[in-house]
Amino acid sequence: MSKKVLYELEFPVRCSPGILYEFLSTPAGLQEWFADRVDFRDNVFSFSWNGTAEEAEVLEQEEDEYIRLHWTHAPKEEYFEFRIQISEVTNETILIVKDFAEKKEVKDQSQLWEYQVKDLFHRIGS
């Protein structure tokens, strides 16, 4: 199995950091766009899609700035992260998604994130 690489995607969004953070860090918010069902207990999110469940532990978070999660089945050094930044030039809110994938799968994984984020933006009216 080849080593996974970290990649990063940026999405400009018309939404305040506070509202966006709610959709990235709470079970109700994540259930709107990320998974069919989301529960949170003891610092671990449980995500369900079509009856398949995955768990992700919260590694770090800063309100209205970022949340970093680790899939419990993945190697320790891997994580995925949602980060919110404000462009100094345009004052626009930017969602940054960081994730790991095998080099040959980065394009496919990026497309999956783009699809998911498009659904998020639809939910927040952006």
What pTM value is reported for the model? Answer: 0.93
Predicted confidence at residue 2, as pLDDT, reads: 65
**% of the chain at pLDDT higher than 70:** 98
Distance, CA of 33 to CA of 117 (rounded, Å): 8
More confident residue, 57 or 89: 57
| Residue 25 in this model has a pLDDT that exceeds 80 | yes
Tens-digit pLDDT profile for residues 26-83: 999 999 999 999 999 999 999 999 989 999 999 999 999 999 999 999 999 999 999 9
* Superfamily of chain region 4-125: START domain (3.30.530.20)
Residue 57 has a pLDDT of: 98
**Domain extents in the chain:** 4-125
Q: 82 with 95: CB under 8 angstroms? A: yes
Q: Check residue 3 and give its pLDDT.
A: 84
Residue 106's SS3 state is helix
